Amino acid sequence: MTEHENTEAAGEPAAHSPTKSGFVALIGPTNAGKSTLVNRFVGAKVSIVSHKVQTTRAVMRGIAIHKNAQIVFMDTPGIFKPRRKLDRAMVTSAWGGAKDADLILLLIDSERGLRGDAEAILEGLKDVPQPKILVLNKIDRVKAEDLLQLAAKANEAVKFERTFMISATTGSGCDDVMDYLADTFPEGPWYYPEDQISDLPMRQLAAEITREKLFLRLHQELPYSSHVETEKWEERKDGSVRIEQVIYVERDSQKKIVLGKNGEAIKSISTASRKEMSEILEQPVHLFLFVKVRENWGNDPERFREMGLEFPRD
């Protein structure tokens, strides 16, 4: 069966005929709320959320059905001025995701406005041919007149088809964005089965869940040089699953932080991660976490491949 035939078989419920479909790339500065917004649109947890910036490392697709349209959201890493090879790979991945989409959604944190990275993104968008919409997030924290000024300034820099004002946390204004996307996309077959909400394999999603809990527990102490891999996944006869994961850090001092005094930190991370995995998988999970030191893993091409990133060669 060809890829095209697979696409057509993915789902076209008669009740929703004719179907529509399209890809939306969410881009924006770090910590603008992209992952929170994707989870809101999809209606389920598909992308990790953390107070720590730059936690999304590769393009992840969250799949939503609205009206008769299947909308595939590409949650990209935050765009910022890169300093390390990992930074460069993440920014390249974000712009690559934007250029592969049918429509680009620029998400701006209304509190931070267009300072710093946001200005650079607007400049970069001028050379991107796809239609673009502007979404101002966290509007509940900003005065109405400031929002209008922000929207006007952004639209002066780039030609946006529409501007929306939302709160990804509360959901305010999000239905308006979904209505617009569903009405805008052309008729076409759905790309994924109706019940699929993400393109991440479960092994990778499980690793992302643990990485989120790691950042939530240790975001003030742990640097970005940490990575989680699912090394073993065993479905057991009693209906449970045994999952073994390795948390990679670069130094012994970081390993001590992850373990915590008397192992308290790693136990807390494991408990929170196991609970969420069990809810998503709808089966008991036996989770075993190991912490290993791998010096300079940020320059290891194999680790980049595990994250779905292309290793910078220059």
Known binding site for GTP: residues? 28-35, 75-79, 137-140
Q: Beta strand pairing status for 69-75 and 103-109?
A: unpaired
Binding-site residues from annotation: 28-35, 75-79, 137-140
- For residue 218, give both structure tokens: 């240790």
Please tell me whether residue 92 adopts helix, strand or coil conformation. helix
Nearest to 104 by CA among 21, 25, 22, 186: 25
- Cα separations in angstroms, 215 against 15, 75, 90, 92, 225: 43, 19, 18, 23, 11
Query: Residue 133 CB: number of other CB atoms within 10 A?
Result: 19
Burial of 110 (0-12, 13-18, 19+ CB in 10 A): buried
Nearest to 182 by CA among 72, 45, 44: 72
Nearest to 60 by CA among 28, 88, 21, 34: 34
- The rounded distance, in Å, linking the Cα atoms of 122 and 243 is 42
CA 296 to chain centroid, in Å, comes to 25
Q: What share of the chain is helix, strand, coil (3-state, %, to 5)?
A: 40, 20, 40
Overall size of the chain counted in residues: 314
Query: Residue 79 CB: number of other CB atoms within 10 A?
Result: 23
